[in-house]
Amino acid sequence: MTARLYAAADGGNSKTDVVVGDSDGRILSRVTGPTISPHVLSFEGALAQLSALVAQARREASLPPSIELSHLAVYTAGADLPIEVDRLNTEISALALAATTTVDNDLFALLRAGTATPDAVGVVCGAGINAAGRRADGATSRFPALGQRSGDWGGGQHLAALALYHAIRSEDGRGPATALEPAVRDHFGLPTVEAVTIALHLGDLPESRLDELCEVMFAVATAGDELATRVVRRLTDEIESLVRVSAKRLDLLEAPYTIVLGGGVLTARHPMLHDDLMPRLHALSPRATVNVLSSPPVAGAALLALDALHGGPCPPALESAVRAAL
């Protein structure tokens, strides 16, 4: 039987990975490009970017135009609300990039990358923060994930913004003194935090460099600064809350399920965060297994595409081949 072909995309807030593979577990190409999140690009921009990346992945896999993909699996940031997921499914299907299409939030690719077990809760803490869960019977748990307006707290960009916020308030006296003040100005090599703020405002410092202050926050907290430590502890509280609420919604708190932790902030395993979080999660759900993601989320998207082609979980040998290739 001829192997069937698929494309799988994992789209985060800053970049997108796309792979082309086959039903025998081979990965034929992998490309990386800009985000396909409709929250960043608009729906029209997201569709155009996805089409371009799939076309690039097809070229790198040496697929002629006459060869049809059997399935396209797209898991992306910005597919948070049911109405967004439904619209993306409809509009991506209409692109006719493959015979069948699956579209959902990128957290489900993270979950599949982290575990094959059907009962699982995943938390991503990278640029932003979100959580989702799934259960063997198909039930899921989600959050709107629309930023602070939907109750979100945390993520690397938020911690970076808080580092600057507390540093300038320390400098001008509106807030408590904190070692974030000298750390922020020294990080950018400017004489004051106010100068850093103005440089970011005027574009003399690219806005993207503000994200660097997330690591500054962790470094200052690790050195013992009280205010920075409170921020990191608050992030730990938030991640624990996301797991607790997700697992409770799915009646998994007392069950043997898997907790998957992903995103750059969590996979960095900062000791102040990681070493506090692990015992909290074990106390929350003593029968749960905690996995810090080691495979790229696009591996989860590829495995979900393979699951679709096989009509259920793909054979373990194929799963191992995909994980090794990616």
pTM of the predicted model, to two decimals? 0.89
Treating both helix axes as pointing N-terminal to C-terminal, what angle do 180-188 and 156-172 enclose, rounded to 10 degrees? 110
In a domain, 14, yes or no: yes
In a domain, 281, yes or no: no
Q: Reduced to 3 states, what is the DSSP secondary structure of residue 292?
A: strand
In a domain, 39, yes or no: yes
Edge-to-edge order in the sheet of strand 15-22: 27-34, 15-22, 5-11, 71-76, 100-105
Structural domain for 17, as ranges: 5-116+295-325
In a domain, 81, yes or no: yes
Q: Taking residues 274-289, report their average pLDDT.
A: 97
Element (H, E) at 218: helix 213-222
**CA–CA distance from 288 to each of 132, 255, 260, 310 (Å)?**
16, 7, 10, 28
Say which CATH number the domain at 311 has: 3.30.420.40
In a domain, 125, yes or no: no
Whole-number pLDDT of residue 1: 55
Q: Taking residues 304-308, report their average pLDDT.
A: 94
pLDDT tens across 233-248, in order? 999 999 999 999 999 9
Rounded mean pLDDT of the chain? 93
In a domain, 129, yes or no: no
In a domain, 70, yes or no: yes
In a domain, 181, yes or no: no
Number of domains composing the chain: 1
Of the candidates 140, 192, 145, which has an alpha carbon nearest to the alpha carbon of residue 164? Answer: 192
Whole-number pLDDT of residue 94: 93
